[in-house]
Amino acid sequence: MRHIIFILLTSVCVNAQTVSTDISNSMASGNYEHSIELLLQQPNLYSSAILLDKLGESYAYQQEWDKAIETYKRLTSLVKDDPNYFFKYGGVLAKKAQNSNPFIGLTLLGRIKSSFNKTLDLDPNHTGAHWALIDLYVSLPGIVGGSYSKAYELAAELKNSSPIDGYFAMGYVYEYDDEPVKAKSSYFQALALVREDKEFKRNQLNYQLGKVCSDYGVQLDKGIEYMTRYIANFSIKDGVPLEWAFYRMALLYRKKGNKQKSLFWINKTLQERADFKRAQEEKQLIQGLKG
């Protein structure tokens, strides 16, 4: 009997592994339509958290927000104690709100906050949920739930689990709250915490560090290194579009006085997004450099 069970389990594992490999390869190559087709063919799709998660991600990459929302709603009902599933549910709800008219966006706010707060209930140190709620609180008007005091509170909490993220978050809130001196101080504190050999789990930190270097004209070579890493490791999950990273590279090289490389990056920026006004203005500054 033990041998029969072993053979059955081995067969199941091999089949699951084959399907998983096909799906993973489709997603890795950016063929999300194909990964969705494969996932929808799985007989155990709606009882498998892993497969539902992959389906939700595939829909999200395709920007099919309604289908992604339905998938993660089902997933968070199936698995009630995984913070990352609630975080992803909140994320696709937020993207739906961002890409809809203001009325629809307002109707989704309660579910968005609830999902991110549930994430923090399950994992009080969840960096992504802290950032998501901070962004929500500083960007919303007070009349519909915006709150600088809550944003500051969340940034202070984040500082306990991830000091670099905490200082960046605090600086981010200060920027929105029109406190440029305090924002600069917080950003510089974050910069001071970085070790020379530090490799970040979150690629966003490379962008944030490079942005500080470009904005304030400090540690320009390090800023270029951070932004190069961000571009090299970029995926849609990172949030900040590539044109902004290209723009920051142009800014960093312009402040180094390197006209040729700054022109290369600003042209790359405008190829990515021709109507980027700040990039258009930056190109004029670059063209004014000698050499």
HEC profile of 193-230: CCCCCCCCCCCHHHHHHHHHHHHHCCCHHHHHHHHHHH
Neighbours of 29 (CB within 10 A): 10
pLDDT, residue 8, reads 33
Separation in Å, CA 18 to CA 12, 44, 47, 83, 166: 10, 15, 18, 28, 42
Separation in Å, CA 166 to CA 122, 147, 161, 207: 19, 17, 8, 15
Residue-range domains of the chain with CATH:
195-291 (1.25.40.10)
**In this structure, what are the phi and psi dihedrals at residue 71, rounded to the nearest 5 degrees?**
-65, -45
pLDDT over 90 (residue 103): no
* Residues in CB range of 280: below 8 A, 6 or more apart: 270
**Gap between the Cα atoms of 189 and 211, Å rounded:** 14
**Global model pTM greater than 0.85:** no
Task: Write out pLDDT tens, residues 171-223.
Answer: 999 999 999 999 999 999 999 998 765 678 889 999 999 999 999 999 999 99
pLDDT over 90 (residue 266): yes
Q: In the predicted model, what is the mean pLDDT of residues 123-152? A: 88
The percent of residues above 70 in pLDDT, for the chain, comes to: 91
pLDDT over 50 (residue 113): yes
- Determine whether 90 is exposed, middle or buried from the number of CB atoms within 10 Å of its CB (0-12, 13-18, 19+): buried
**In this structure, what are the phi and psi dihedrals at residue 194, rounded to the nearest 5 degrees?**
-75, 125
Max avg pLDDT among 40-44, 126-130, 287-291: 126-130
**H helix intervals, the chain:** 2-28, 32-40, 49-61, 65-78, 83-98, 102-122, 127-139, 148-161, 163-176, 180-192, 204-216, 220-232, 242-255, 259-272, 277-287
